[in-house]
Structure 1
């Protein structure tokens, strides 16, 4: 079974999600087994090489994973 999301890693993937107003989850991995959803279902408002802004909050790209619902 395929996952119901796509992990967004590149600038092109983040840009496509921002333009299409895709719902994006922000995930923080605790270890190889556990992850926490920090922000669920927001749209990307802005992104830089260092951070992504979703629902008014900034999340560092090297500390969080961004997943678009498909």
Structure 2
């Protein structure tokens, strides 16, 4: 549901790879969600698997 809200609001979403015992790694510094499916999210022309990455917005 959060991804749908981010699409509707056109907010900047960051793509983050969570790392064990290390700081999280920002993979894409962000942009609006262009498309999402149950498996992946498209941001800035790149597809990111939902089970491998986290998607965060700025508060």
For the criterion TM > 0.5, the same-fold answer is yes
Q: Structure with the greater relative contact order (CA < 8 A, sep ≥ 6): 1 or 2?
A: 1
Structure 1 residue 33 displacement after superposition: 3.0
Quote how far apart the aligned CAs of 1:30 are. 2.2
Number of residue pairs matched?
59
Specify every segment of 5 or more residues in structure 2 that has no aligned partner in the other structure, as ranges: none
- Tell me which of 26, 31, 42 is aligned to 2:15: 26
Give the TM-score taking structure 2 as reference length: 0.91
List structure 1 segments (4+ residues) > 3 angstroms apart after TM superposition. Answer: none
Where does residue 32 of structure 2 map in the other structure?
A: 43
Superposition CA RMSD, Å: 1.0
